[in-house]
């Protein structure tokens, strides 16, 4: 049945990337149950990190609620304060973030390693198009991911390997481990600019990453962050970075932006016109709201279409359709073309096609002087997007020219 669904997705041009958790498992995992039943006699005892005192004395592991079930203090949200030490001491096994339901796997064990790599190969052979890797940096054996890549790519040379890494560096994105990272610095930069003064600091304060990195940005400040994002890695990496503005681990983008739908639309336009792989978290396209986990993980309201924000959905559809139709927005070279006050502009070019993107996050109409010598004497026509007035035509007579936009809008000009 899964293969039929996969074939149907592929027939429609949809590629399927599945989530892989190789650092830990559920306590219902059969090798772990065998350890619960057999203790030191289990052939799977080395698949996990167990307290030797529990094994030596025959003391049962405490994986489930109820006497003598877990009684850990899990109030700490800092990873450093929940490193598995407490669970190893009190439960008899190391658990991810000391959560009893998530025993940590010993990937250094050859049997565990082969089991996991075999599972990864199985799904690629079945036809999935890649893996999203959960907390990959928490594995004790970093060479695991090099072997993972070799074996996956041997089956499908185009498989996409995406890492959940909040602080990516060149070492892990140089081509021998992952193709891309979940681009959380992109999220905070885009949300900070698209939201502007509408950013809800009380929502941001619920999440450590957002609290430290989310603040209203004007055009020049956003341009500075954008310049860093676009040049931090090799262009081949930047072109496949997972550019998100929301996920299951952050509050909903509409909530982050204080309920400002204009900001959500601006964020989508920015996603659709920058290098990378734009990602929409389910429900953001219809204006779902929610604070930090579990608030952001609510079920999609399939049976309540009257609650959907159709203006957001229509705009996202149009923005990403434009990206699909205009190859320059997917493959073109990127260059910043101006930033002042509430406005910023960039140019993408590929062959004979050039795109100029201009965004105004301000509360009133504004004008930006754009510097784009490649557009001199060319005719630029704005792409139609929901809510825009009639198409605008520009014919720059010099390398520097002015573009005016209404408040909280963006335009894409194609030459």
Residues assigned a catalytic role: 134, 164
> Which helix or strand (DSSP H or E) is residue 346 part of?
strand 343-350
C-beta of residue 364 within 8 angstroms of C-beta of residue 407: yes
How many helices (H) and strands (E) would you count in the chain? Answer: 15, 14
Residue 207: CB atoms within 10 Å: 20
Pull the structure tokens for residue 347: 């140019």
* Residue 242 phi, psi dihedral angles, 5° rounding: -85, 95
Among residues 185, 145, 146, the alpha carbon closest in space to that of 166 is found at: 185
* Residue 410 phi, psi dihedral angles, 5° rounding: -140, 155
SS3 220: helix
For residue 29, what is the DSSP state?
-
C-beta of residue 238 within 8 angstroms of C-beta of residue 177: no
Q: Report the C-alpha gap between 266 and 408 in whole angstroms.
A: 7
């Amino acid at each position: 049945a899964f293969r039929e669904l996969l074939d149907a997705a592929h027939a429609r041009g949809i590629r399927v990337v599945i989530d892989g958790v190789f650092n830990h498992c559920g306590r219902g995992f059969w090798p772990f149950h065998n350890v619960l039943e057999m203790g030191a006699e289990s052939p799977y005892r080395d698949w996990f990190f167990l307290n030797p005192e529990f094994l030596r004395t025959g003391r049962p592991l405490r994986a489930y609620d109820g006497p003598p079930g877990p009684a850990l203090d899990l109030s700490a949200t800092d990873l450093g304060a929940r490193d598995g030490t407490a669970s190893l001491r009190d439960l008899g096994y190391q658990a991810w973030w000391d959560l009893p339901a998530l025993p940590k796997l010993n990937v250094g064990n050859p049997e565990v390693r082969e089991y996991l790599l075999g599972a990864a190969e199985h799904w690629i052979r079945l036809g999935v198009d890649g893996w999203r890797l959960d907390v990959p940096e928490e594995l004790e054996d970093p060479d695991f991911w090099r072997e993972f890549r070799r074996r996956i790519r041997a089956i499908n040379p185009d498989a996409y390997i995406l890492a959940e890494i909040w602080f990516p560096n060149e070492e892990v994105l140089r081509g021998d481990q992952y193709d891309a990272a979940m681009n959380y610095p992109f999220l905070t930069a885009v949300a900070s600019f698209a939201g502007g003064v509408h950013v809800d600091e009380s929502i941001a304060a619920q999440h450590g990453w957002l609290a430290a990195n989310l603040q209203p940005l004007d055009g020049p400040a956003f341009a500075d962050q954008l310049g860093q994002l676009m040049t931090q890695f090799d262009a081949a990496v930047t072109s496949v970075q997972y550019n998100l503005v929301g996920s299951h681990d952050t509050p909903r983008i509409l909530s982050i932006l204080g309920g400002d739908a204009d900001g959500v639309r601006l964020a989508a336009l920015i996603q659709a016109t920058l290098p990378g792989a734009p990602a929409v978290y389910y429900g953001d396209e219809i204006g779902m709201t929610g604070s930090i986990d579990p608030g952001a993980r609510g079920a999609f309201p399939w049976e309540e279409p009257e609650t959907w924000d159709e203006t957001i959905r229509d705009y996202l559809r149009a923005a990403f359709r434009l990206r699909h139709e205009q190859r320059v927005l997917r493959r073109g070279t990127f260059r910043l073309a101006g930033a002042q006050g509430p406005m910023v502009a960039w140019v993408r070019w590929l062959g004979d096609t050039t795109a100029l993107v201009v965004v105004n996050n301000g509360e009133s109409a504004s004008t930006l002087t754009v510097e784009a010598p490649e557009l001199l004497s060319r005719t630029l026509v704005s792409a139609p997007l929901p809510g825009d007035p009639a198409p605008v035509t520009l014919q720059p007579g010099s390398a520097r020219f002015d573009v005016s936009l209404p408040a909280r809008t963006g335009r894409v000009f194609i030459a």
